[in-house]
């Protein structure tokens, strides 16, 4: 069955709205805006799996940990989402995958951590607005550098650093 022009236009608008949602999420993370991050997610129970950062059963629980780990002046972050693949499953449900390029500069420990990962998301339209209803990330690459001296020293390069080298709670505690 061929979609009407109106249905095709709505699908394009929905896909663009989901892309804008994820971009708002990344920007809010970089700008340390917990309320804006929270606004990107549905209310109520959901699944958020951020690997070493934690697994959460609600957006509120995730945002509470975000405040602890990322809202310190010495933590400077950059989240870049790329290569989105969005699939509409119905008028109010979708799923998508995103590549992540992430850079963390810890000005206290004088370390830079670069991560590459793949998000798997689910989205739901609530009161006409797309929201993230489930998200998980799988890290695919990690590089940790000591930048305390004039010559950068590699601490780790590979898929996933050992916890003692890449512990988000230790970074945030400063």
Q: What is the mean pLDDT of residues 81-96?
A: 97
Q: What is the largest CA-CA distance in the chain?
A: 63
Domain boundaries, the chain: 5-173
What confidence tens digit (pLDDT) does each residue in 9-52 have?
Answer: 999 999 999 999 999 999 999 999 999 999 999 999 999 999 99
What top-level class would CATH report for the domain 5-173?
alpha beta
pTM of the model: 0.92
Provide the token pair at 74.
């010495």
Per-residue confidence band for 171, with pLDDT thresholds at 50, 70 and 90: confident
Write the CA distances from 135 to 46, 106, 117, 132, 159, integer angstroms.
Answer: 9, 26, 13, 7, 20
The angle at the Cα of 69, spanning 118 to 135, to the nearest 5 degrees, equals 30
């Amino acid at each position: 069955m061929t979609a009407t022009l109106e249905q095709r236009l709505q699908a394009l608008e929905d896909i663009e709205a989901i892309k804008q949602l994820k971009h708002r999420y990344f920007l809010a993370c970089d700008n340390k805006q917990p309320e804006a991050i929270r606004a990107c997610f549905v209310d109520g129970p959901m699944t958020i799996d951020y690997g070493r950062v934690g697994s959460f059963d609600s957006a509120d629980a995730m945002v509470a940990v975000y405040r602890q780990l990322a809202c310190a002046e010495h933590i400077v972050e950059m989240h870049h989402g790329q290569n989105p693949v969005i699939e509409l499953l119905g008028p109010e449900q979708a799923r998508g995958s995103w590549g992540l390029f992430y850079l963390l500069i810890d000005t206290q420990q004088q370390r830079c951590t670069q991560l590459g990962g793949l998000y798997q998301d689910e989205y739901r339209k609530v009161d006409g607005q797309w929201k993230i209803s489930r998200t998980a990330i799988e890290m695919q690459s990690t590089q940790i550098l000591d930048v305390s001296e004039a010559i950068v020293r590699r601490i780790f390069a590979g898929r996933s650093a050992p916890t003692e080298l890449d512990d988000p709670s230790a970074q945030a505690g400063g």
